[in-house]
Chains A and B, each alone.
Chain A
Amino acid sequence: MTEATKYQNRIDLLQGTLDMLVLQALLREPMHGYAIAQVIRSRSGEVFTVETGSLYPALHRLERQKWVKSEWKLTESKQRAKFYQITALGKKQLTADHRRWLELVRAIGAVMEPEVQP
């Protein structure tokens, strides 16, 4: 296995989760990449630092799957930036991802803290 494929796998592990976080961030309004990173970081209480090296590949992948669409616009500070907007397909995907995530959390919780279970 070459270096390139190893690197690819690392991203793949993150991907599902990162996709969900990005879609969730976009749910309220269209945003550019930098803002998405900021929103995720602040909402997570500065826990998640989304690396650019993961963010942009994820955004472009989401766009290719038609879960988001993009548009060049000016920011409030007159900076030209590419704004991403969630699509109907993306919203559906987000719901599915979210449900799966909740199941995952519940399952992991059940394994890690069995005494809580009735």
Chain B
Amino acid sequence: MHWPWEQAKESLSEELEAHLQMSIAERVADGEDPAQARAAALRELGNVPLIEDVTRERWGWIWLENILHDTRYALRQLRRAPAFTATALLTLAFGIGANLGVFRLLYAVILAELPIPHPEEVVRIHAARTPFDQSWTISYPAYQRLRAATPDVPLMATAYIVEDAKLELPNRASINASCTPVSDNYFSVLGVTPAAGRLFIQADASQAQGEWPAVLRYDFARNTFGSAGQAVGQHMLLNGRSFVVIGVAHRRFLGDITGHAPDIWLPLELQSTGAFSFSWDSLGPGHDVSLDKPWYNQPTIFWLALTARVPPERRAAVLAHWDQVFRNDREVMTEATADPAVKTALLHVKTGVAPLSENGMRKRFTVPLTILMALSASIFLVGCLNLANLQLARLHAREHELSVRMALGASRGRLIRQVVLEDALLLAGGSLCAFVLGRAASGILVRWVSNRNALFTLDLHPNLPLAALGAGLMLLSLLCFSILPAVIAIRTGVGQTAGSRAKVAGISQTARQRLRSNVLLGTQVSLSLLLSTMSACFAATLVHWETVDVGMDREHVLIVRPELHQPRYTDHSEMLPELYSLIQDRLQALPGVRSAAVEMCGGIHCGWITALYVHGRNNLTDAQVHGQEDHVGIGFFHTLGIPILRGRDFSSSDTDKAQRVAIINRAYARQLFGDADPIGQLVGYEPALNDHKFLIVGEVADAHVNGAEREAPPVVYMSINQSPAPVNSIRVRAVGDPRQLSDSVRHALYEVDPALPVSEIVPLATELDGDLGTEKLLARLAGVYASLTLLLVAIGFYGVMSSRTTRRKSEFGIRLALGATRGHIQRLIIGQTARILLAGILPGAILSILAVRAASHFLYGSVSANSLAIIAASVVLAIAGSIATIIPARRAAFADPLETLRSE
């Protein structure tokens, strides 16, 4: 291919050639000898390349040509220094990529607003906290009353997300889908538009036909049906009920709770089918609640969260009006407590609003993500400093070439431009890698941060702030590692050394230049010490939570999840104790099994909030009576490795005909009885008159059943045999590695009941570790960063020291000739590294101490443990720096002095 100016250039040459030919022809015609004529014509024509140059300048686009020229030159230069090019590309890719990746996550979790019109108008309505879960949910009748009271204010209700509904499609294996039941006006309140089909309308709520309507999330529709359009009109079974897809929500709409995007939206009214188990709260046992019946006319089942679109200026009036309407419901709620203080407080609560952004995700991740953003910024800075230093060293090495070019008339601007262009090319390449890397990184980060079971779904589409950050980082890095070094080098270096070859004893590198590169290296050392320390602390924290004593035998317990929520079992719950006993016997007969037991809870974070009132004591506050409840089978404590402190375990004599018994843990016992012996005390779910249903027969040690990093809650355990119900897990304690038991356990259960499906078998350790999303994210990413900066620092030392030793080659030659030993030379160079390391490590340590203090909330470990991390990181850094220096030092020391001096 020919550039247009190549053509123009050829044309110009041809024009001048024609001129020459005509001149010769005329001279020959005048009778001159052809050879002489040619010589004379050429003399007359003058310096052809110069004429071409000057002529071309008249064209006005010479600059473009120059840039292309410079680009080609730059590419050649980069190819000639592959190590530098690779380092620069990698540094930029990681430095910018890491920032983009983390920022994308940060933006999606913390900064992004819902992709709806006027998101600031949409607020959560907090009417009252439910008695036990303390969640802001209300009953269906209350919702209808509030909605009717203010017909002009869009008010919608949502139930909690149902994580694992079973979705069956014709001719396909069933999958798990998460569903959110919403009121008919959900999409219209938010202002969400459909990507295909239609969204819910009022008629959908009252439909009593065979098929329920469903709206799908865009990506879910695409993954399941191929496209949004194809999804519409599809029929499917959800938990055995038939549904038809009426529409698909807008592409960017992922639900109203950040991170928890449901796959399917369903009408609230399908609660009446009883096919889905929703999260709920009520006034507690003894109050009139029929969970099996439809909830829409039960004012004491609290299950709906409210969201409304109210402009800020109308809020006060609307809320006051709702307060009046809600007054009755609030009075109903006070029945749940015997604590007069709580009762009064409940009645005085005013309905309030909270922004949508005030959610668990934001609360949980703001600080960790900010820490990560700061770490990412530091790694970017380290990368830039490193490149700046390498660049200075590189320019220094090219000093001679540059000064010759300047002497030949190259303008300073052109030289700077060439150098900057080289870096711009690097930057372009690096940024391209960075964008790809950043994209991949945010996906990986989301996976790291998510819990084992629930992957967060976040909107990670590129957005304007992200692009701005990317562009800003690119410019900043260009300025840092390219423009400034080039300006510095050309201002100070080139002019002074032009033409001079007197390079003995390091004259060519002034003290200022050395100081500058030392400061750059030292800063890198400080920052990477910071990153390494943080990484060590986060890693130690993760290890701590992964190995801390949780009050249970975490390494040997297997959680088996059977599917007992089927009519076969639920309709004959009186048969369940026998089944449990069969299962337990069969499992305990397996080789390698120490014991087995059933438990209502399926995993961690599962016990439900309850209240225990003590017979004969009426002065207990809500804070004392509230705790967590779980129903377990015989041998549960032995299976989990929870020690029984006083009294006894449940036994086979605790049947539904005998005295109801309970076992409480130390935390609950302390809450209710202080240090007194709880054995023999009578307790009940309700205050006086109904406060003696259970006899406490045992006290067990505390266990961290809500996750390793959370406090051990107060728990009361009841016997599953006294109130038979389907359990969610069977726990098996193994002698050795529990993983190896999976197959035999599955097989044994099949033998006991071939019709009983087992959905999952996981070790308790996995379940507990899966809960450490934040800790894992911090530890892993900080680890990646720390190793990257170590690498960068090593490269930095290697690069700078190599260039220095090369420059001082003749000096070393003279020293060796004068009697210095090779050891002297090596010590000289390594001494420099040692001073830089020391100068970097001291401020780095101070920085680390401050950072550790700032992040202390996420760190487990004492001050001394963290100082140990600082010392360890310093040692690792020092080793990395020294190794990187030894190579050029040895090269310098073992060079032949004669050879070196001769080459001068």
A interface residues, Cβ below 8 angstroms from B: 2-4, 7, 11, 32-35, 51-53, 56-57, 60-61, 64, 72, 75, 77, 79-82
The 18 listed contacts between A and B (C-beta, < 8 Å) are A3-B409, A7-B54, A34-B23, A35-B22, A52-B16, A53-B51, A56-B12, A56-B15, A56-B16, A56-B51, A57-B51, A57-B54, A60-B12, A60-B56, A79-B22, A80-B14, A81-B19, A82-B18
The residue in chain B whose Cβ has the minimal distance to the Cβ of A58 is B58
Complexed CA–CA distance, A60 and B54 (Å): 10
Question: A3-B409, A52-B45 known; A60 and B18 CB under 8 Å?
Answer: no
Complexed CA–CA distance, A66 and B46 (Å): 27
Residues of B402-440 at the interface with A, using a CB-CB cut-off of 8 Å, are 409, 411
Q: Is the CB of B55 within 8 A of A2?
A: no
Complexed CA–CA distance, A29 and B14 (Å): 22
CB distance from B703 to the nearest CB of A (A): 83
Q: Is the CB of B60 within 8 A of A64?
A: yes
CB distance from A57 to the nearest CB of B (A): 5
Complexed CA–CA distance, A109 and B47 (Å): 37
Q: Is the CB of B58 within 8 A of A34?
A: no
Complexed CA–CA distance, A32 and B409 (Å): 34
Taking the complex as formed, is B44 at the interface, i.e. its CB lies under 8 A from any CB of chain A?
yes
A-B contact sample (11 more), CB < 8 A, given A56-B55, A57-B51, A81-B19: A11-B54, A33-B18, A34-B23, A51-B46, A53-B51, A56-B51, A60-B55, A60-B56, A61-B58, A79-B22, A82-B14
B interface residues, Cβ below 8 angstroms from A: 11-12, 14-16, 18-19, 21-23, 25, 44-47, 50-51, 54-60, 409, 411
Q: Is the CB of B409 within 8 A of A82?
A: no
CB distance from A56 to the nearest CB of B (A): 5
Q: Which of A3, A51, A81 contacts B15 (CB 8 A)?
A: A81
Which residues does chain A contribute within 8 Å of B47, judged by CB atoms?
53
Question: A2-B409, A3-B409, A81-B22 known; A53 and B50 CB under 8 Å?
Answer: yes
Q: Is the CB of B51 within 8 A of A60?
A: no
Which residues does chain B contribute within 8 Å of A61, judged by CB atoms?
58
Q: Is the CB of A60 within 8 A of B45?
A: no
Which residues does chain B contribute within 8 Å of A60, judged by CB atoms?
12, 55-56, 58-59
Complexed CA–CA distance, A92 and B146 (Å): 85
Question: A53-B47, A56-B51, A60-B55 known; A79 and B21 CB under 8 Å?
Answer: yes
The residue in chain B whose Cβ has the minimal distance to the Cβ of A38 is B26
Which residues does chain A contribute within 8 Å of B55, judged by CB atoms?
56-57, 60
The residue in chain A whose Cβ has the minimal distance to the Cβ of B29 is A77
Which residues does chain A contribute within 8 Å of B19, judged by CB atoms?
32-34, 52, 81
CB distance from B409 to the nearest CB of A (A): 6
Question: A53-B46, A57-B55 known; A34 and B18 CB under 8 Å?
Answer: yes
Which residues does chain B contribute within 8 Å of A35, judged by CB atoms?
22
Complexed CA–CA distance, A35 and B59 (Å): 22
Complexed CA–CA distance, A61 and B60 (Å): 9
Q: Which of B16, B22, B25, B409 has the most CB of A within 10 A?
A: B22
Complexed CA–CA distance, A35 and B18 (Å): 11
CB distance from B214 to the nearest CB of A (A): 69
**Majority DSSP secondary structure for residues of B touching A:** helix
Complexed CA–CA distance, A60 and B12 (Å): 10
The residue in chain B whose Cβ has the minimal distance to the Cβ of A4 is B409
Going nearest first, the 8 A-B pairs with the smallest beta carbon separation are A61-B58, A60-B58, A34-B22, A81-B18, A57-B55, A56-B55, A82-B15, A34-B19
Complexed CA–CA distance, A57 and B52 (Å): 8
CB distance from A77 to the nearest CB of B (A): 6
Q: Which of A35, A51, A52, A77 has the most CB of B within 10 A?
A: A52
The residue in chain A whose Cβ has the minimal distance to the Cβ of B56 is A60
Which residues does chain A contribute within 8 Å of B58, judged by CB atoms?
57, 60-61, 64
The residue in chain B whose Cβ has the minimal distance to the Cβ of A62 is B58
Complexed CA–CA distance, A72 and B18 (Å): 11
The residue in chain B whose Cβ has the minimal distance to the Cβ of A59 is B55
Q: Which of B11, B25, B51, B57 contacts A79 (CB 8 A)?
A: B25
Complexed CA–CA distance, A57 and B50 (Å): 11
Complexed CA–CA distance, A32 and B26 (Å): 14
Q: Is the CB of B57 within 8 A of A57?
A: yes
The residue in chain B whose Cβ has the minimal distance to the Cβ of A11 is B54
Which residues does chain A contribute within 8 Å of B57, judged by CB atoms?
57
CB distance from B58 to the nearest CB of A (A): 4
CB distance from A53 to the nearest CB of B (A): 5
Q: Is the CB of A64 within 8 A of B22?
A: no
Complexed CA–CA distance, A1 and B46 (Å): 25
Complexed CA–CA distance, A53 and B23 (Å): 15
Complexed CA–CA distance, A32 and B17 (Å): 12
Question: A64-B58, A64-B60 known; A80 and B18 CB under 8 Å?
Answer: yes
Which residues does chain A contribute within 8 Å of B25, judged by CB atoms?
77, 79
CB distance from A63 to the nearest CB of B (A): 8
Complexed CA–CA distance, A23 and B15 (Å): 19
The residue in chain B whose Cβ has the minimal distance to the Cβ of A61 is B58
CB distance from B697 to the nearest CB of A (A): 101
CB distance from A3 to the nearest CB of B (A): 6
Complexed CA–CA distance, A34 and B55 (Å): 16
Which residues does chain B contribute within 8 Å of A52, judged by CB atoms?
16, 19, 44-46, 51
Which residues does chain B contribute within 8 Å of A82, judged by CB atoms?
11, 14-15, 18
CB distance from B257 to the nearest CB of A (A): 65
Which residues does chain B contribute within 8 Å of A72, judged by CB atoms?
11
Complexed CA–CA distance, A52 and B11 (Å): 16
Complexed CA–CA distance, A46 and B430 (Å): 63
Complexed CA–CA distance, A112 and B55 (Å): 36
Which residues does chain A contribute within 8 Å of B50, judged by CB atoms?
53
Which residues does chain B contribute within 8 Å of A3, judged by CB atoms?
409
Complexed CA–CA distance, A56 and B18 (Å): 12
The residue in chain B whose Cβ has the minimal distance to the Cβ of A56 is B55
Complexed CA–CA distance, A2 and B675 (Å): 95
Complexed CA–CA distance, A75 and B21 (Å): 12
The residue in chain B whose Cβ has the minimal distance to the Cβ of A32 is B18
Complexed CA–CA distance, A51 and B47 (Å): 11
Which residues does chain A contribute within 8 Å of B22, judged by CB atoms?
32, 34-35, 75, 77, 79, 81
Which residues does chain B contribute within 8 Å of A77, judged by CB atoms?
22, 25
Complexed CA–CA distance, A28 and B771 (Å): 93
Which residues does chain B contribute within 8 Å of A75, judged by CB atoms?
22
Complexed CA–CA distance, A53 and B18 (Å): 15
Complexed CA–CA distance, A75 and B22 (Å): 10
Which residues does chain A contribute within 8 Å of B21, judged by CB atoms?
79
Complexed CA–CA distance, A75 and B15 (Å): 13
Complexed CA–CA distance, A61 and B799 (Å): 50
Which residues does chain B contribute within 8 Å of A34, judged by CB atoms?
18-19, 22-23
Complexed CA–CA distance, A33 and B409 (Å): 30
Complexed CA–CA distance, A79 and B15 (Å): 11
Q: Is the CB of A2 within 8 A of B15?
A: no
The residue in chain A whose Cβ has the minimal distance to the Cβ of B44 is A52
The residue in chain A whose Cβ has the minimal distance to the Cβ of B61 is A64
The residue in chain A whose Cβ has the minimal distance to the Cβ of B411 is A2
Which residues does chain A contribute within 8 Å of B11, judged by CB atoms?
72, 82
Complexed CA–CA distance, A7 and B50 (Å): 11
Which residues does chain A contribute within 8 Å of B60, judged by CB atoms?
64
Complexed CA–CA distance, A21 and B23 (Å): 20
